[in-house]
Amino acid sequence: MHAWILFVSLMAFYTVLSGQIHSTFLLGAGVVCSAAITLLAKRLGIVDDEGVPYRWWPRTIKYLPWLMWQIVLANIDVLKRVWKIGPLDIQPRMIRVPNQLRTAYGVASYMNSITLTPGTVTVDIGKDELLVHALTKAAADDLLSGEMHRRVLAVEGPIKSQQEAK
């Protein structure tokens, strides 16, 4: 199932980027390339829940508009601080941001969300915390408020019991 989802996703991505839906040769090239990548990924053993995390895609799509808005707000904040005449209004700091995420997908989504938001960069990942460089106290306080963490927890979804997992 994972391999088919990977193949269809690759083919859709190829079709959107190339825009060539009327050329049989180019569509055939897309099928060959997508199939070759899928077979290679399957042979490497990376066609699994971590490599093709389709079960989280619907909740991730619901999370993305909020994340995009946070990126816009952070861009505006950093832009104002950089373009301000006079001394820079920044207070750089390293903070430890706790997390209770349960999956590699959740941790990767959280740390990438932090890094994508201007003014913050994930520097290191610990067992139950992330080390983050924040450009301002406001950015640090925003991360420590936990709103982004709560939303990424929602992307992970409810905890499944051992019986449900089987």
Q: Tell me if 53 sits within 8 A of 46, measured CB to CB.
A: no
Answer with the residue of higher pLDDT: 158 or 166.
Answer: 158
Between residues 160 and 13, the one the model is more confident about: 13
What is the rounded average pLDDT for all residues in the chain? 87
pLDDT for the residue 163:
45
* Distance (Å, whole) CA 5 – CA 47: 10
Going from N- to C-terminal start, the domains of the chain cover 2-44, 56-158
Which pLDDT belongs to residue 33?
Answer: 93
Which residue reads 């080390």 in tokens?
131
Encode pLDDT of 81-126 as tens digits: 889 888 888 899 999 999 999 888 889 999 999 999 999 999 999 8
* Model confidence, pTM: 0.72
- Look at 52 and 136; give whichever has higher pLDDT: 136
Max CA pair span of the chain: 61
pLDDT for 94 equals 96
Radius of gyration of the chain (CA): 20
Q: What are phi and psi of 155, to 5 degrees?
A: -65, -40
List CB contacts of 149: < 8 A, sequence separation 6 or more: 97, 98, 99, 100, 101, 110
3-class state of residue 147 by DSSP? helix
Contact call for residues 51 and 7 (beta carbons, < 8 A) = no
pLDDT at 93: 95
Helices (H) and strands (E) in the chain, counts: 7, 3
What tokens appear for 20 in the block? 């060539």
Return the residue matching tokens 């995420």. 101
Task: Return the amino acid letter for 86.
Answer: G
For residue 162, pLDDT over 50 is answered with: no
Q: What is the pLDDT of residue 23?
A: 85
Q: In the structure encoding, which two tokens stand for residue 77, read together?
A: 């904040």
- CA–CA dist 32, 99 (Å, integer): 42
State pLDDT tens for residues 6-58: 899 899 999 999 887 888 898 899 999 999 999 988 888 777 766 667 778 88
